[in-house]
Structure 1
Amino acid sequence: MMAVASGDIAELYAAGDAILKVPRLPADNDLMRAEARALTTLQRDGDARHRAYAPRLIQSFTHEDGDGARRTAVVLERQAGFVPLTGLEHRLDPRDVAWMWRRLLTGLGWAHRAGLVHGAILPEHVLIHPGEHGVVLVDWCYSVAPGASIPALVARHRRAYPPEVLARQPASPATDIYMASGLMLRLIADPPAALRRFAAGCRYAAPRMRPQDAWRLLGELDELLEDLYGLRRFRPFALPA
């Protein structure tokens, strides 16, 4: 079986309409188990209207290789037509980022209401469907319940994390809001001043100073976008060359 992608900690293999995800190191089995728990929680406890914001867990199992090393693997529903935000930083029109930002906040609000903090809102973990304006949050390996510390970080994205993650302090919905706001702002080629101020208000160093409710923040974003661009309407989007 040939790998179709390499994640932060795992190799991903195509298996029909599914993706098999296997950690490269047995030491990361705890992160794989965290992903399986998070996706199970979202499928069981999350509002069914929003389940498309995360991949569906098909199964989780332990694989033992020829050397006796045991790895926790997960099988996920494949996200056909979706691509990561990797490589799009500073390249997009703010009107195109608007729908991504709105959907990302919707997905985060859904996860937070189910009792989860994603913990790693990074370009490769946010998939978009360009034609259908879909968004899926992937790689729930770093997710925790509010009040727990994020177990690991992606070293190359260290500057994208809020202070509480770097200090191994408790995470909260404000942790995801900090990372999501920074990511969305970085996608825009020339962010309007109003969007810069909006993102800055979501990225204070102290978590208590940031917004705590992604769905309420979505309402504030909608008001800002209407002031900037008028009533919301569908804007066709194609990935830049």
Structure 2
Amino acid sequence: MEGERAVKAEDILELSGPAGAGKLMPGGPHEIRRTFRKLVALWHPDHNPDPRAAAVFRHLVALRDLALGRSGAGRTGQIGAGQEEILTARDGRRFRTRVHYRHEGDAGTLLVGARAISHMIPGGNRDLARLEEDAVRGFRFADADMAAQMAWALPALLEVRALRDDATLLIYERPEGEVVLADLLDAFGPLPPEHAAWLGSGLLNLAAWLSWAGLFHGGIGPDSVLVNPDTHSVRLVGGWAFSGRLGSRPAALPNRTLDLMPALAVKGAVAEESLQLELIRRTILESLGDGAGAHPGRIGVPAPLADFLRLPSAADGISDYRAWQEALVRAWGHRRFVAYPHRLSI
């Protein structure tokens, strides 16, 4: 596809069926979602004065679903009802799970259910399954107050099941109202800047804790983050297979991270705090519909936040979190709660 800006309303509206969807949004699920977010950022009726914007936006959603279905990925079933899947344990016993959304990732498949979110990691990645389990069982805190505060932001591992073919299923709690950020963006388009603000605050609060704990996280992105649009809570539930101690060599990193920071693929390269801080910036920009980070100011982002997102990060997560809070004050003054107008029910 040529540049997204070159695609006219009539070009989009005349596309139909899986073939048309594949022409506009080619590639695998990650590429499809990336293209979709760029297009809806341009055609969202809140940002585009074209009288056809609402129709184009609705058609883009339909084409996105067709493209994901064509690629064999994306959502499973419908919101509310879900689709039942039967999984087989290593001992041969079968159990049922109802999946509302699924996300194919570098380590495995994320299955989103009504009360739990599970990471199914194939046997070929069993080392990553072990790394993820060790990471989430090894969280540490300075005291009970820190543990209570971070309980809202870190995954709660409920159970680990061994599946057939050496696959592993890590089952996490999915608190009421929390949805995968990618699903929220797919359903309603880019976040307005005032809502990207609370997303950034939550992610950078996590970065501050990671800095204190001496950890890096190389899998931060829209598919690994749970958000509650009603309470503005942010939880980093996925990607822990790509985490480790700061200053150490990552055992593995997802392609999205290597695309952003290719130097990490060089032999002997180690993870520094800039890794997660840049991933957080990219995630905020993607939530705003500007994944490339080229012109955040052009989509209504206040100058202090646009500058924060464009400029290099601070030396550590704690300093970066403080800089973000200062940018918010310069942008909007004292903190106030702004209700998100949509709800994605499961």
Common fold by TM > 0.5: yes
Normalised by the length of structure 2, the TM-score is 0.58
Equivalent in the alignment of 1:207: none
In the alignment, the residues of structure 2 paired with residue 175 and residue 18 of structure 1 have an alpha-carbon distance, to the nearest angstrom, of 28
Of 310, 322, 325 in structure 2, the residue corresponding to residue 219 of structure 1 is: 322
Equivalent in the alignment of 1:106: 205
Equivalent in the alignment of 1:183: 283
1:28-47 → structure 2 map (5 Å cutoff): 28-42=125-139, 44-45=140-141, 47=146
Aligned partner of residue 147 in structure 1, secondary structure: coil
Aligned partner of residue 123 in structure 1, secondary structure: coil
**Residue identity (%):** 27
Deviations 1:75-127 (A, max 9, x none): 32223321222263972221111111011111122133223211111111111
1:109-148 → structure 2 map (5 Å cutoff): 109-139=208-238, 140-148=240-248
Equivalent in the alignment of 1:83: 179
In the alignment, the residues of structure 2 paired with residue 105 and residue 152 of structure 1 have an alpha-carbon distance, to the nearest angstrom, of 23
Distance 1:198 1:11, change over 3 A: closer
Distance 1:37 1:96, change over 3 A: same
Instruction: Compute the displacement of 1:58 (Å).
Output: 2.5
1:21 aligns with 2:119: yes
Equivalent in the alignment of 1:231: 334
CA contact (8 A) 2:264 2:271 kept: yes
Deviations 1:36-80 (A, max 9, x none): 1111121x44630212211112233544x2xxx323332322233
Distance 1:138 1:176, change over 3 A: same
Distance 1:133 1:83, change over 3 A: same
Distance 1:195 1:132, change over 3 A: same
Instruction: Compute the displacement of 1:167 (Å).
Output: 3.3
Structure 2 unmatched runs, 5+? 1-95, 290-298
Of 251, 257, 262 in structure 2, the residue corresponding to residue 151 of structure 1 is: 251
In the alignment, the residues of structure 2 paired with residue 176 and residue 131 of structure 1 have an alpha-carbon distance, to the nearest angstrom, of 26
- 1:198 is matched by which residue type in structure 2? F
1:95 aligns with 2:198: no
In the alignment, the residues of structure 1 paired with residue 228 and residue 236 of structure 2 have an alpha-carbon distance, to the nearest angstrom, of 12
Instruction: Compute the displacement of 1:14 (Å).
Output: 7.0
Aligned partner of residue 339 in structure 2, secondary structure: coil
CA contact (8 A) 1:118 1:144 kept: yes
In the alignment, the residues of structure 2 paired with residue 96 and residue 16 of structure 1 have an alpha-carbon distance, to the nearest angstrom, of 24
1:60 aligns with 2:160: yes
Equivalent in the alignment of 2:310: 200
- 1:196 is matched by which residue type in structure 2? A
CA contact (8 A) 2:217 2:244 kept: yes
Distance 1:14 1:232, change over 3 A: closer
Equivalent in the alignment of 2:169: 73
Distance 1:141 1:80, change over 3 A: farther
Q: How many residues align?
A: 227
Normalised by the length of structure 1, the TM-score is 0.81
Deviations 1:183-227 (A, max 9, x none): 21232251334323212223xxxxxxx423222212111211111
Structure 1 unmatched runs, 5+? 203-209
Distance 1:124 1:13, change over 3 A: closer
Deviations 1:110-163 (A, max 9, x none): 13322321111111111110001110002211111112233333336654x324
CA contact (8 A) 2:98 2:113 kept: no
In the alignment, the residues of structure 1 paired with residue 282 and residue 258 of structure 2 have an alpha-carbon distance, to the nearest angstrom, of 13
Distance 1:59 1:212, change over 3 A: farther
CA contact (8 A) 2:117 2:172 kept: yes
